[in-house]
């Protein structure tokens, strides 16, 4: 792994280990739960918007696991 890429992952994992990140993940869980209520969706445009919101929140929620997997993969390949 290049030094730049290694620093990228070190910085990312440092951020994800902070109390602020833990608070963000809790907020994300709350937001995802509120988006699961489809009874408030009145039209297709609102549905598509909520799908987009949920997609972004899911990406953020899994960012740590995805980053860890990518880091492990890169280390195994010695990229």
Q: Report pTM.
A: 0.78
Inform me whether the pLDDT recorded for 77 exceeds 70: yes
User: DSSP alpha helices (H): ranges in 1-79?
Assistant: 3-16, 19-35, 44-77
Phi first, then psi: what are they for 18, rounded to 5°? Answer: -85, 160
pLDDT in tens, 30-58: 999 988 888 888 999 999 999 999 999 99
Packing angle, helices 44-77 and 3-16, rounded to 10: 130
Is residue 32 within 8 Å of residue 58, measured between CB atoms?
yes
Q: How far apart are CA 1 and CA 19, in angstroms?
A: 28
């Amino acid at each position: 792994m290049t030094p730049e890429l290694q620093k990228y992952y070190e910085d990312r994992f440092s951020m994800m280990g902070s109390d602020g990140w833990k608070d963000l993940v809790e907020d994300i869980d709350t937001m995802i739960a509120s988006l699961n209520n489809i009874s408030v969706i009145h039209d297709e445009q609102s549905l598509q918007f909520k799908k987009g919101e949920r997609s972004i929140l899911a990406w953020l929620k899994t960012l740590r696991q995805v980053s860890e997997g990518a880091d492990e993969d890169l280390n195994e390949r010695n990229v």
